[in-house]
Amino acid sequence: MTDAAKPLWTQAEAEHATGGHSTLPWSASGVSIDSRTLAKGDLFVAIRGPRFDAHDFLADAFKAGAACALVNRIPRNHPDDQPLLIAEDTYSGLKALARAARQRADARRIAVTGSVGKTSTKEALAAALAPSGKVAATVGNLNNLWGVPLSLARMPRDTKFGVFEIGMNHAGEITPLSRIVRPDIAIITTVEAVHLQFFDSIEDIARAKAEIFDGLRGRGTAVLNRDNRFFDFLVEEAAARSIANIVSFGEHEDADARLLSYDSGSPARIRADIMGKTLDFTLALPGRHNALNAMAVLAAIGILGADIDKAADALGRMDAPAGRGKRMRVKLAGGGEALVIDDSYNASPASMRASFKVLAQAKPGASGRRIAVLGDMLELGSGSARAHADLAEDIVAAGADLVLTTGDNMMHLDDALPRRLRAGHGARAADLVALLNELLRDGDVVLVKGSNSQNLGAVVRALAKPGAASKAEPAH
């Protein structure tokens, strides 16, 4: 049997990894920790969290087609014909599966963290590496204490490159996750003022991001943003861990992977010097910030010895992840169409300003306008009101014609905006849909941006409905 034809996990492999024992024979083609998204053939890991116990959802998991469930107890009235893998602790079991998957696959691994740009950089890495071999990558933003080991546990044995996103809200969270991944390359996209609710300073955030070095194996390489003011600080943090291999990226003249020129468009045109090799290529992801992160991606490609020309070509053909800059042409109920830039998944002051620049570069139709639909930025601590109000100057500079806002903190931005830009404020994202349906006209460009909890994705979905279909804007 070839590697591709083997199950992801056999009973014997999983038992050996976890130290558990099974009630019936089984094998699994995947791993899941959520009964709502479980695919047929998955091993369901019954995680116990602070507000839930997935043992309560075993019936749902098996109804969805689970091959087996990893549990630490047998629930009352559990059917005898549904296989269970019983271990002492299910989270420890998940981490054990992650380590076993890492050890059995002869894969080069890259870990990505940073205040902003993690997911888009991870997606770009996966696309860029695909022409050079089989890639396993974090799905979505599964980057926390459950998502990282889950992503590793899903890695097939014949993987050539593993790409893993690592996130954090508090100090001390990245170290154990990096030690599970044991990356060959660690990328820090940037350090910015996010999660300040949980940190005393931005320097503390930089120190927490440097925890990714704790898992870097052997003669691993740190890839760092040369333009960021914490570059030297991170180099010192790496040196303190005896990491001597540093590769820098950015526009700085000393960057190893340097952005030489950026011509905005759809797609953008880029010239770069990647460790002495000049490349001209297109980038499907919009915005200069994504172009800079593409330098980190291509630096990693060069370090790995993968095909850098094919990697650059792939960056022009990839799709932007949903909620992170994806563009859609939507039909309007009254006729015509608008361009929607869906950046609804997350928001911070730095990512807001980057998205405003994308909006500024977008070209409305003949009678169209630039419209920003903005939701609260979270975890900014005592400076949250000021951080929201301070966006006013940037949104004006971006040439926005109208701004709609939602959330308690975005009221501060609404108050700070010139009256001519204030198109309405809603207590909830859903309140903005009716306003937009009245406002939108042919040729408009609409940026939708906010923290995930603000549910601005619902606004994007609603915009896709009038007049029926929406269509993804081609990457060219």
404-432 pLDDT, tens per residue? 999 999 999 999 999 999 999 998 888 99
Statement to judge: residues 304 and 336 lie in one domain: no
Statement to judge: residues 85 and 112 lie in one domain: no
**Residue 96 forms part of a structural domain:** no
Statement to judge: residues 302 and 362 lie in one domain: no
Q: For residue 321, name the pLDDT band (cuts at 50, 70, 90).
A: confident
Output the six-digit token pair for 111: 């870990």
* Predicted pLDDT at 381: 85
Q: What mean pLDDT is predicted for residues 62-72?
A: 98
Burial class (CB in 10 A: 0-12, 13-18, 19+), 390: middle
Q: Is the pLDDT of residue 160 over 90?
A: yes
Write down which residue in 58, 90, 122 finishes a domain: 90
User: Could you tell me whether strands 108-113 and 185-188 are parallel, antiparallel, or unpaired per DSSP bridges?
Assistant: parallel
Statement to judge: residues 369 and 426 lie in one domain: yes
User: Could you tell me where the beta strands, DSSP code E, fall in 149-285?
Assistant: 161-165, 185-188, 221-225, 245-250, 257-263, 268-274, 277-283
Statement to judge: residues 340 and 416 lie in one domain: yes
Q: Is the pLDDT of residue 472 over 70?
A: no
From the centroid of its chain, how far is CA 384? 23
**Residue 95 forms part of a structural domain:** no
Backbone angles phi, psi at 147, to 5 degrees: -70, -35
Torsion of CA 263, 268, 273, 279, to 10 degrees: -120
From the centroid of its chain, how far is CA 100? 25
Statement to judge: residues 258 and 238 lie in one domain: yes
* Predicted pLDDT at 470: 39
Query: Where in the sequence is the domain holding 11, given as residue range(s)?
Result: 7-90
Write down which residue in 90, 118, 136 finishes a domain: 90
Please report where in the chains the tokens 């011509």 appear, as a residue. 263
Number of structural domains found in the chain = 3
**Residue 100 forms part of a structural domain:** no
Judged by average pLDDT, the poorest of 41-55, 100-114, 185-199 is 185-199
* Predicted pLDDT at 4: 55
Helix (H, G, I), strand (E, B) or coil at 218: coil
Q: What mean pLDDT is predicted for residues 369-391?
A: 93
* Predicted pLDDT at 320: 79
Statement to judge: residues 76 and 207 lie in one domain: no
* Predicted pLDDT at 235: 97
Task: Kindly report the CATH number assigned to the domain that includes residue 43.
Answer: 3.40.1390.10
Q: Is the pLDDT of residue 70 over 60?
A: yes
**Residue 1 forms part of a structural domain:** no
Short-list 208, 241, 214, 209, CA closest to 224: 209
Torsion of CA 322, 119, 454, 447, to 10 degrees: -50
Statement to judge: residues 146 and 245 lie in one domain: yes
* Predicted pLDDT at 198: 83
Average model confidence (pLDDT) across the chain: 92
Q: Is the pLDDT of residue 462 over 70?
A: yes
* Predicted pLDDT at 3: 56
Q: Is the pLDDT of residue 218 over 90?
A: no
User: What pTM did the predictor assign?
Assistant: 0.87
Statement to judge: residues 166 and 207 lie in one domain: yes
Statement to judge: residues 191 and 142 lie in one domain: yes
Q: Is the pLDDT of residue 471 over 60?
A: no
Short-list 117, 147, 37, CA closest to 346: 117
**Residue 321 forms part of a structural domain:** no
Q: For residue 475, name the pLDDT band (cuts at 50, 70, 90).
A: very low
Task: Kindly report the CATH number assigned to the domain that includes residue 225.
Answer: 3.40.1190.10
| Contact predicate 177/147, CB 8 Å | no
Please report where in the chains the tokens 């009101």 appear, as a residue. 385
Task: Kindly report the CATH number assigned to the domain that includes residue 344.
Answer: 3.90.190.20
Q: What mean pLDDT is predicted for residues 100-112?
A: 97
Write down which residue in 288, 315, 342 finishes a domain: 315
Distance CA 267, CA 285 (A): 7
Statement to judge: residues 80 and 114 lie in one domain: no
Judged by average pLDDT, the poorest of 213-217, 272-276, 322-326, 344-348 is 322-326
Statement to judge: residues 310 and 380 lie in one domain: no
* Predicted pLDDT at 266: 75
